[in-house]
Structure 1
Amino acid sequence: MAKSLLFIPDISGFTKFVQTTEVTHSQHVIAELLEVLIEANTEELQLAEVEGDALFFYREGELLSQEKLLAQIETMFTAFTGHLKLLEKNRICPCNACATAPKLELKIVAHCGDIEFIEVQGNRKPFGKQVIEAHRLLKNSVESDNYVLISKELSSDIELPIYYYSKVFRFKEGKDIYDQKEVEYIYSIIDNNKLNIGEYSTAKEVVLEDNPGIVLDRNFSIAAESLMEYITNLSYRHFWVKGVDKFEYNENEVTRLGSEHVCVINNKHLNFVAVKKKVKPGKYVYGEMTKSIPVADTVYQFYTISPISDNSCNLKIELYWEIRSLIKKLAMMLFAHRIFRKNTENSLNLLDQLVEERRIVIA
């Protein structure tokens, strides 16, 4: 029987990440990173299972050549690291989960051997001694959480030299004992600075020369970080923004600069994108921009939150618009301005009501 490849990318620091940060956002971040790793599977490896913070891939009855295996490993590290940089640059949320996400690391274990299969609820899964051994190799004595480990058996089969090195890889020998059996391997710590990270989109800072057309502000009896969550987490939006039939957005993504969502009103789709502007240090800001509102070419709405104490803050809402047409300018002056202001006031009242109701429930 030809040997099969076993391949496990595992996100390092996940347990600590979840235990010490906000659970919901950490789950979203991990889910995003797992999706990135799955998309980086260029060798069409079979995904056997998502194992919490790890993915279990295999290739039945066939090993990759050393060139393809190393290329696949480098591709996954590059995609993973690039996405962490995107999260860091485009972060809006001040919570610990989003702030510490860029510190997550990746380890990949590759092994091989004869495997069997079991059927679980109609799904065919690899099973056997080599599968167990591959997972045990995740617990090793490598002094890093950002590395690739290849079993000696696999490296021998694909003729990968023990001390192979390149720009990205510099392998060393290692061994550990599992169930009274010594298992040898080679490993390379990955220096992320050596990876060829491509360009990733970062949101440009909005510079507005004119004063806002509408300004409203109110104090809230809630921590600034918590109010920011109510505003940026689109799952709360229907509680405090009325008149919208449906909000469409990526439910598995933490809102960040460049995130998009759609408001469906009477079968009309209004597209919004998250943007930023400069604020003084210590303040939080979240903005949305749309070109979908008929009476203006572009509309910006910014929410600036200023902490007052540990459990109170001030929210300032500012609306800006850019209009080139004289007809649209007239429409804004005659009726649209009043409608915008009334809708914003209603949203501010409902947001205040939502915060108060949640505060009473928690208390």
Structure 2
Amino acid sequence: MAEKGFLLVADITGYTMFLTSSELEHAQGVLDALFKSILAEIQAPIVLSNFQGDAALAYLPDARLPQPQFPLDAIERIYCSFANTLAAMRLNTTCTCNACRNMDKLDLKFFLHHGAYVMQTLAGRNELQGPEVIRLHRLMKNSVIKATGIKAYALITAQAADAMALPEFFAKTIPHVEPSEEFGDTACFVYDLAPVFARWRAARRIVVEKSEPQAFEPIECDLPVPPAVAWTYVTDVAKKVRWQQGIDAMRMTGLSAGRVALGSTQHCAHGKDQIVHDIVDWRPFDYVTYHIHTPFGTVVRETAEFTPLESGGTHLSIRCARPESANPLAQAMVRMTMPLIKGKLVRERRASKEVLLRVVAEDLEGNGVTMDG
């Protein structure tokens, strides 16, 4: 039976030239490391279909889409894993063989489409089939680099862009059209990934370590969903408001071209009061850190960390540091008054944990989804 969803190809640029102009043994070692960096990030709810030489084909059914911006977050995460692996090999090698010299010619590009497909079993393997799958593969032979000069890119069809419903984001990308005898013109958007990796490398890590003093007991629980899905229950306000206790409403501001990102802010309404959570570190789907605004200009660092479990689920740890400020007097005052409200906050956090577990279980039951898909 046909399904609808996102179809994704991750394709290594320069693969053939690298393989044919380098010593095979060294070249294979480099490519193995790069393929592993890609495979490590193609995780549920994305499903790997197969490898096709220098490209990985994957898909994401609409029914399993955690949030509209998820395909972009996933592409960026895969690219940063690949680019970081490649950069580390370049830095650490002292070898002068052709393979090591030619690593600079390698990069990664993506092709994202949305449409109908069917799964067909061939020789014991499940293969994606259908006209839209063919269209996706035809897009791999394109004029993007010639037209734009961009080597590391995501070519996203208008159908995929429409399915994500992020017009502000795609207004900042490069419109592109790819002609085809079979499918006519396919309208697309070109998204440059090199700046994404540059920002990822330059960003300062801000976390609440397990070993540092904390304001109160952390939330620790195992969720029966993969990290990318668990992530949305914390970062998507429509989901978070369902389980977070002690609040009446929640909204987001400071979106980056329609996407929640570093610099975005959660506003949590408590009656007439609002608690503001600024996102100061954003690492989908590993961790997110907030600065929660507290009295006298102090902030509380809160980190939500997502650790994959062997079962396919996620261990969620939400930790809060003690109030902080550049003003020692303000910091001391707020830390002294924290015990007055600590009991109430601990009760709300414990209740939030129980509601979160129940909400996730209800969602799984309602969607008919199990951990094995």
TM-score (norm 2): 0.49
Match of 1:189 in 2: 192
**Higher normalized helix content (fraction of residues):** 2
CA distance in 1, matches of 2:187, 2:164: 15
CA distance in 2, matches of 1:195, 1:132: 34
- Do 2:117 and 2:130's aligned partners in 1 also have CA atoms closer than 8 Å? yes
Worse overlay, 185-194 or 81-90:
185-194
- Do 1:7 and 1:109's aligned partners in 2 also have CA atoms closer than 8 Å? yes
* Aligned counterpart in structure 1 of residue 96 of structure 2, from 88, 94, 97: 94
C-alpha displacement of 1:195: 3.5
C-alpha displacement of 1:176: 1.2
Match of 1:145 in 2: 151
CA distance in 1, matches of 2:108, 2:162: 24
CA distance in 2, matches of 1:24, 1:32: 13
- Do 2:10 and 2:109's aligned partners in 1 also have CA atoms closer than 8 Å? yes
- Do 1:78 and 1:195's aligned partners in 2 also have CA atoms closer than 8 Å? no
Instruction: Give a deviation string over 1:122-158, Cα, whole Å, max 9, x none.
Output: 1111111111111111112212321011110111122
C-alpha displacement of 1:66: 3.4
Amino acid at match of 2:4: K
SS of structure 1 residue aligned to 2:144: coil
Amino acid at match of 1:44: P
Q: Is 1:14 the counterpart of 2:20 in the alignment?
A: no
Q: Is 1:38 the counterpart of 2:42 in the alignment?
A: no
SS of structure 2 residue aligned to 1:59: strand
TM-score (norm 1): 0.50
CA distance in 2, matches of 1:55, 1:61: 20
C-alpha displacement of 1:191: 2.2
Amino acid at match of 1:24: E
Match of 2:358 in 1: none
CA distance in 2, matches of 1:134, 1:62: 21
SS of structure 1 residue aligned to 2:142: coil
CA distance 1:66–1:103, shift in 2 (3 Å): farther
Q: Is 1:157 the counterpart of 2:147 in the alignment?
A: no
CA distance in 2, matches of 1:11, 1:2: 28
CA distance in 2, matches of 1:31, 1:3: 32
CA distance in 1, matches of 2:202, 2:169: 28
C-alpha displacement of 1:44: 3.3
Equivalent residues in 2 for 1:1-363 (5 A)?
2-62=3-63, 64=65, 65-143=67-145, 144-161=150-167, 164=170, 170-180=172-182, 181-192=184-195, 194-197=198-201
- Do 1:11 and 1:107's aligned partners in 2 also have CA atoms closer than 8 Å? yes
SS of structure 2 residue aligned to 1:94: coil
SS of structure 1 residue aligned to 2:200: coil
Aligned residue pairs, count: 195
CA distance in 2, matches of 1:50, 1:2: 21
- Do 1:163 and 1:172's aligned partners in 2 also have CA atoms closer than 8 Å? no
CA distance in 2, matches of 1:43, 1:186: 25
C-alpha displacement of 1:2: 4.8
Q: Which runs of 5+ in 2 are unaligned?
A: 204-373
SS of structure 2 residue aligned to 1:133: helix
CA distance 1:88–1:29, shift in 2 (3 Å): same
